[in-house]
Amino acid sequence: MAALGSPLRTFRGLLRELRHASGRHYRETPAYRHIAAAFRAHRVTSQKLCRAQQELHFQAATYLCLLRSVREHAALHQEYHGKGERSPEEVAGLVGFRLPQQPGGKG
């Protein structure tokens, strides 16, 4: 299994993905409140040792991976999704070719 990194880095990554998904006011969303409360409840303090911290961190890292993947998929889909039928001139231009000109200026 790969190393998870620090919980703070995972928390910041989750907040970054929430900001991408929700816009400027991501701190007002229920998802932000839930994530912040979960990280606060499972932190290690001097009074107690939280056994579920590693479990929470693994779940958070998995959720972060999901959010990143969904965002990147949407960006790729938007960029490369077919835009319908294209003309032969447009297709030739996409691959870097030019169609030959017909004699007499007809094409």
Question: Mind listing the pLDDT tens digit for each residue in 27-52?
Answer: 888 989 999 998 888 776 665 665 66
- Strands (DSSP E) found in 1-107: none
Residue 68, class by beta-carbon neighbours within 10 Å (0-12 exposed, 13-18 middle, 19+ buried)? middle
Report the chain (107 residues): mean pLDDT per 10 consecutive residues.
77 91 86 90 67 79 92 89 81 86 69
- What pLDDT does residue 13 have? 92
- What pLDDT does residue 106 have? 61
